[in-house]
């Protein structure tokens, strides 16, 4: 029975097909992800290319309103960029940072949790204290310091180029403790199981046991929290950008767009904040709903049949 057949008859797929909310969330998410990937092809304009827009087009309303222009379906932002295209590129950046940050978080967190849980003793105490310390430092403070120092040291232009990796590192390094704690809890449970004892009786080294036997069995909770962590990373990035610490205005993410339009809400150009805001909410919502469903499906206590 190969992997595909096993998947087709699995409980995961069965439960998925019966849950309309899961199907809806997954579909919406897939559509959004595909749009992001195909952004250069799909969008009417390439918003990173300064040649394609004109400041004179700034603050054009959406097409169905008075003063709207057919070439700008959802209107333009304060720099004259087409809002729809900018939103799609913004979502792309948000998604990139979200996934990148989670990959970094999980890498650090899994290693820390694994060593801490398996070796125990003083190493465990030491690593857990570091985890606690990291947990207590608000990522905002870290972000403020890091971006301020970076901009000072390398200038705003360089900052714009390296903003994405920098944000991935900031958010990744701030949030790994939750992976460490989750993995450590799993490892503590698995470490005393008899298949681990059997491996020790055979003579297999601790490192091999840790990575080959224990680690694969701790990954289910990691999968469950990863979806929520992606949503959180996206929100963190949006918050940072909103405060001006994240993506620069030249390569805006959804958060930056919301920020840039914020001053103009009451002066009439509400769409600059509104549409990116809606898109961000929908994106995070479907990730969280899917994560909820995944957590219920993978819960061994609820698993029936």
Partner 1 sequence: MKNTNGLLTVKNLVKHFDISGGLLDQLAIEKGHIVRKRTTVKALNTVSLSILPRENLGVVGESGCGKSTLARAILGLYPPNSGEIYYKDKRIDNLTAKEMLPYRKRMQMIFQDPYASLNPRMTVKKTLEEPAFFHNKSITAQDAEDKVAEVMQQVGVDPQWASRYPHEFSGGQRQRISIARALIVDPEFVVADEPVSALDVSIQAQILNLLMDAQEKRGLTYMLITHDLSVVEHVSTRVAVMYLGTICEMAPTKQLFESPRHPYTQALLTAIPKLSRKKTKHIKLKGEVPTPINLPSGCIFHGRCLYANKRCINEIPRLIRMDSGATVACHGVEEGRL
Partner 2 sequence: MSHLLEVKDLEVKFALRFGDLTAIDGVSFTLDKRERLGIVGESGAGKSVTGFAIINLLSKPGYISAGKILFEGQELNQFSEEEIRKIRGNRISMIFQDPMMTLNPVLTISTQMVETVLAHHNMSKSDALDLALEKLKKVYIPSPEKRLDQYPHECSGGMRQRIVIAIALLTNPSLIIADEPSTALDVTIQAGIMDLLLELCETEDMGLILITHDLAVVSEVTEKIVVMYAGKIVEAGSTEAIIHDPKHPYTQGLIKALPGSLQPGSRLYQIPGMMPNLTSIPRGCAFHPRCTISDTICRKEAPPLISVSDHDRMVACHLVK
Partner whose binding site includes residue 304, from partner 2, partner 1, none (CB under 5 to 8 Å by kind): partner 2
Read off the DSSP letter of residue 45.
Answer: S
CA-CA distance, 246 to 238, in Å (whole number)?
8
Cβ pair 94, 234 in contact under 8 A: yes
Contact 89, 37 (CB under 8 A): no
Residue 201 makes contact with partner 1 by CB under 8 A: yes
Which two three-digit tokens encode residue 264?
Answer: 């103009």
Classify residue 127 by its DSSP letter: H
Instruction: State in angstroms the smallest separation of the CB of 17 from partner 2.
Output: 11
Nearer to partner 2, 15 or 25 (CB): 15
Residue 50 is a binding residue for partner 1 (CB under 8 A): no
Stretch in the footprint of partner 1 (CB under 8 A) among 30-38, 44-52, 62-70, 196-204: 196-204
Give the nearest distance from C-beta 218 to partner 1 in angstroms.
Answer: 10
Pick what 200 binds: partner 1, partner 2, none; C-beta below 5 to 8 Å, kind-dependent. partner 1
Out of 162, 200, 263, 303, the residue judged to bind partner 1 by CB under 8 A: 200
Cβ–Cβ under 8 Å, residues 198 and 254: no
205 is a site residue for partner 1 (CB under 8 A):
yes
Residues 206-235 as x/- pattern, contact with partner 1 by CB under 8 A: -------x--xx------------------
Distances (CA, A) of 257 to 46, 68, 203, 271, 299: 16, 19, 58, 10, 38
Give the separation between CA 263 and CA 253, rounded to whole angstroms: 17
141 is in the binding site of which of partner 2, partner 1, none (Cβ under 5 to 8 A by kind)? none
Look up residue 25 and give its DSSP letter.
H
Contact string (CB under 8 A) for partner 1, positions 77-116, x = contact: ----------------------------------------
Residue 304: other Cβ atoms inside 10 A:
6
Residues with Cβ < 8 Å from 267, sequence gap 6 or more?
Answer: none
* CA-based nearest residue to 33, from 277, 290, 219, 240: 290
Query: Among residues 38, 198, 278, 281, which is the contact residue for partner 1, using CB under 8 A?
Result: 198
* DSSP letter string, 190-229: HHTSHHHHHHHHHT--HHHIIIIIIHHHTHHHHHHHHHHH
Nearer to partner 1 among residue 5 and residue 267 (C-beta) = 5
The binding track of 268-297 with respect to partner 1, each residue x by CB under 8 A or -, is ------------------------------
Closest to partner 2 by CB, 17 vs 129, is 17
What is the contact surface with partner 2 in residues (CB under 8 A)? 14, 304-305
Q: Does 158 bind partner 1 (CB under 8 A)?
A: no
204 binds partner 1 (CB under 8 A): yes
CB nearer to partner 2: give 8 or 206.
Answer: 8
The distance in angstroms from the start CA to the end CA of the chain is: 19
**Binding region for partner 1 (CB under 8 A):** 1, 125, 193-195, 197-205, 213, 216-217
């Amino acid at each position: 029975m190969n992997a595909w057949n096993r998947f087709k008859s699995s409980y995961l797929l069965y439960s998925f097909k019966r849950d309309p909310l899961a199907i809806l969330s997954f579909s919406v998410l897939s559509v959004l992800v595909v749009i992001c990937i195909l952004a250069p092809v799909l969008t009417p304009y390439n918003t990173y290319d300064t040649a394609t827009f004109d400041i004179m087009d700034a603050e054009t309303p959406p097409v169905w309103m008075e003063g709207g222009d057919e070439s700008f379906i959802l209107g333009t932002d304060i720099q004259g960029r087409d809002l729809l295209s900018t939103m799609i590129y913004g979502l792309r950046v948000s998604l990139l940072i979200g996934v990148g940050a989670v990959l970094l978080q999980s890498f650090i967190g899994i290693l820390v949790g694994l060593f801490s849980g398996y070796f125990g003793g003083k190493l465990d105490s030491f690593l857990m204290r570091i985890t606690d310390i990291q947990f207590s430092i608000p990522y905002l403070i870290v972000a403020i310091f890091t971006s301020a120092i970076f901009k000072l040291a390398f200038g705003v232009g360089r900052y714009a180029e390296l903003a994405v990796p920098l944000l991935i590192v900031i958010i990744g390094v701030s949030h790994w403790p939750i992976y460490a704690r989750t993995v450590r809890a799993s490892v503590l449970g698995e470490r005393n199981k008899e298949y681990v004892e059997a491996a020790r009786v055979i003579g297999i080294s601790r490192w091999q046991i840790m990575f080959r036997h224990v680690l694969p069995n701790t990954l289910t909770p990691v999968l469950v929290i990863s979806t929520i962590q992606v949503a959180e990373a996206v929100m963190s990035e949006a918050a940072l950008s909103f405060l001006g610490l994240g993506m620069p205005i030249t390569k805006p993410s959804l958060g930056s767009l919301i920020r840039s339009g914020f001053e103009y809400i009451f002066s009439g150009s509400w769409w600059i904040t509104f549409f990116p805001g809606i898109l961000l909410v929908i994106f995070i919502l479907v990730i969280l709903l899917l994560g909820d469903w995944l957590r219920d499906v993978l819960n061994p206590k609820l698993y029936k049949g």
